Amino acid sequence: MFNKKDIKRDQMMLTGSFAKKGYDWWWHSFTAINDATGEEVPFFIEYFICNPKLAQPEPVLGQADYSKQHHLKPSYLMVKAGCWGKNKCQLHRFFAWKDVSIEKKSPYNIQAADCLANETQIKGSIKITEEDAKRHPEYMCDAGEISWNLYVDKKIAYNVGYGASNIFRWLKAFEMYWHAEGMKSTFSGTITLNGQSYTVRPETSYGYADKNWGKNFTSPWVWLSSNCIKSRITGKELKNSVFDIGGGRPKIFFLALNRKLLGAFYYEGHEYEYNFSKFWTGCKTQFHASEAGDDIVWHVRQENKHTVMVTDIHCAQKDMLWVNYESPDGAKRHNRLWNGGNGVGRIQLFKKNGKQLELIDDMDVTHIGCEYGEYDKYI
């Protein structure tokens, strides 16, 4: 059973060695409605913390010339927000640790100036002028102005299970951890982006909330998720369903487990999981992702002893952006990490009947959050 809520996994994880070489982030993505045009626009908001034990009086940005010259590692709270689509943008605001209040136990709570994040609410603002964006490439972002005040209701969780025991977390065994407390979430509230107002309604927010933490980022990097799903067989919207796929090349200590994904499909109350760490389930995964023409495309085939899930997704590159992060060691390895919220595609779910496959459902999926990047290809 993966739909197991655990807000302890949402608490700050930067203890021990991760405090000097670690990141932790809380990610939120959802759809809003343009108040003037009625157009749907997908947004993202993230609270990203890095290396708290290396704090300086001011935020330390790893891509700054001074940091590189003096071998300083990044240390800050970064608030990231923006949208995908024709007016896509990525905005960053940095805080020194002395200006951050953070609850280290669950339920988590982060606050810096007017920026706040916890289990039920996110709010804040970012303003980056054109001049600042050009003068400070270390900000790794565009110019623009955004503010938000939103409430979050996390409905369905994906508790991936691996590393769940205290021993795995205590040993810091994995390079990158993942927990989706709100694999299916609803959002409500308001956003203002570059002077335009947007409303977020629970029934059309198609929301998602998760977190990652660790000491480095995976390559390849794959993420796919949506709860806007419609059956091709019945024509009905599956309002109690959500899927989530993530991973790429997990590392445990110094061992890389090449091309492994974690996957879950909560299908109208039934749980289907494809988790390589639960070896007794007979999980197998094949996946391919690439830059194909004007799109990014993903093909994923996952199976366990009882079922098969085939996922085909594509997203127009013009609607996506290259999402920017630097690692706790100060390196920026991912420079083509495609990130989008307008993915569309198809999922087929099968039951194994001996050597035959019996179709459970064939579904169209939209409003898909999606990522793909492999820094090994470009460095």
Give domain status of residue 93, yes or no: yes
AA letter at 253: F
Whether 287 has a pLDDT exceeding 80, the answer reads yes
Q: Residue 207: which of 193, 225, 221 has the closest Cα?
A: 225
Give domain status of residue 39, yes or no: yes
Give domain status of residue 1, yes or no: no
Query: Average pLDDT over the chain, rounded to whole?
Result: 94
Instruction: Extract the tokens encoding 272.
Output: 């289907």
- CA–CA–CA angle 124, 125, 129 (5° rounding): 165
Q: Residue 218: which of 244, 183, 257 has the closest Cα?
A: 257
The pLDDT, as a whole number, for residue 175 is 86
- Rounded Cα gap, residues 122 and 187, in angstroms: 10
Q: Domain limits at 194?
A: 7-377
Number of domains in the chain: 1
Give domain status of residue 207, yes or no: yes
Give domain status of residue 2, yes or no: no
The pLDDT, as a whole number, for residue 169 is 53
What is the gyration radius of the CA atoms in the chain, in angstroms?
A: 20
Residue 199 makes CB contacts below 8 A (sequence gap 6+) with 32, 33, 35, 189, 190
What is the tens place of the pLDDT at every residue in 147-187? 999 999 999 999 987 544 444 555 566 789 999 999 999 99
The pLDDT, as a whole number, for residue 164 is 43
Contact in structure between 79 and 92 (CB atoms under 8 Å): yes
The residue to which tokens 């916890």 are assigned: 118
Which H or E element spans position 366? strand 356-373
The pLDDT, as a whole number, for residue 378 is 42
- Residue 258 pLDDT class (50, 70, 90 cuts): confident
Instruction: Extract the tokens encoding 154.
Output: 């996390």
Question: For residue 242, what are the CA distances in angstroms to 158, 179, 205, 239, 303?
Answer: 10, 15, 13, 8, 17
The pLDDT, as a whole number, for residue 255 is 67
Residue 355 makes CB contacts below 8 A (sequence gap 6+) with none
DSSP 148-174: EEEEEEEEEEE---TT-SHHHHHHT-B
What is the tens place of the pLDDT at every residue in 208-248? 999 999 999 999 999 999 999 999 999 999 999 999 999 98
